[in-house]
Amino acid sequence: MKKLFPLLLLTIILTGCQKEPDWGKLSNDLLVYTHYDEEVDFAKYNTFYIPDSILVLDNSQKEPVYISNDDIRARNIIEALTDEMTRCGYTQVYDRADADLGIITSYIKRTNTYVGYDYPYWWFDFYYYWPFDYWDPYYYDWYPYYPYPVTYSYTTGTIAVEMIALKDADTSSKMLPFVWTACMAGIESSNQINISNAIAGIYQAFEQSPYINAQ
C-alpha cells in the first residue's frame, strides 16, 4: 500500500492538470432538459390551469417568495407557457377544480437542491415549495408522485416547469402524479432572469416534447 501511495498522489496531482473548456463559447447557450411519463397518454387531457405566479427558490429566503404576473418577467413566462399549451390543443381554465392538468413554474435562484433516484420526493421538507392544497384544500397532506426517476440537479439560474395530472390524482395513496418536467438552465444574466432566454427555453422544451398534444 505504501508503494501505491506515491502513484495515487501523482494521479491526484495530475488530475488537476485537466484543461478547462473554452467557457466563452458556452456561456451564452441554454440548456433544456425534459422528461415525461411514458405511460401517460397526453391526449386524454383537455384542460389546464396555470397559476399567475412563479415561485422563487432561494436559500436565503425563510418564507415562500412568488413573482406575480404584475412583474413583466413572470407575465412573459406564464404567457409563453399558456401559448404553448394552447398551441398543443389544451384549453385554459380559470378554476383549478376544472383542470385536467396543472402547470407549476419555479425559478431556482439560489439553491443547491439535488434531485436523485433515491429521494425523488425532495420537497417533502421543502416547505416553501408549491403546497398541494394550493390546487384544492382537498389535496392537503397529499404527496407528489413521479412515475419516472428524476435524475437532474437543479442549479442556480434555472426555471423548472412541472405538469401535474390533476385528473389522475390517486385518492387511495394521496399521490399527485407529475407527468412532465422541464428544466431551463442558463437563463440568468447579471443575477436576473434573462427573459428572452427563458422564453426561448420554454419554446424549446415544448418543441422537444411532441407527445404533449391534446389531439
Which residues bind to other proteins, rule: CB under 8 A?
Answer: 7, 10-11, 14-15, 17-19, 21-23, 25-38, 148, 153, 155, 157-158, 185-186, 204, 208-209
Q: Supply the minimum distance, in Å, between the C-beta of residue 212 and other proteins.
A: 12
Q: CA 62 from chain center: how many Å?
A: 21
Q: Supply the minimum distance, in Å, between the C-beta of residue 156 and other proteins.
A: 9
The DSSP bridge pattern shows strands 101-110 and 188-189 to be unpaired
Q: Supply the minimum distance, in Å, between the C-beta of residue 91 and other proteins.
A: 26
Residue closer to other proteins by CB (options 7, 94) is 7
Residue linked to cell 404527496:
143
Residue closer to other proteins by CB (options 38, 95) is 38
> Crossing angle for the helix pair 72-87 and 195-207, nearest 10 degrees?
20
Q: Supply the minimum distance, in Å, between the C-beta of residue 6 and other proteins.
A: 11
Residue closer to other proteins by CB (options 38, 41) is 38
Q: Supply the minimum distance, in Å, between the C-beta of residue 17 and other proteins.
A: 5
Distances in whole angstroms, Cα of residue 55 to Cα of each of 42, 121, 147: 25, 18, 23
Residue closer to other proteins by CB (options 1, 14) is 14
DSSP 72-96: HHHHHHHHHHHHHHHHTT-EE-S-G
d(CA 196, CA 52): 19
Angle made by CA atoms 198, 90, 202, in degrees to the nearest 5: 10
Residue closer to other proteins by CB (options 68, 192) is 192
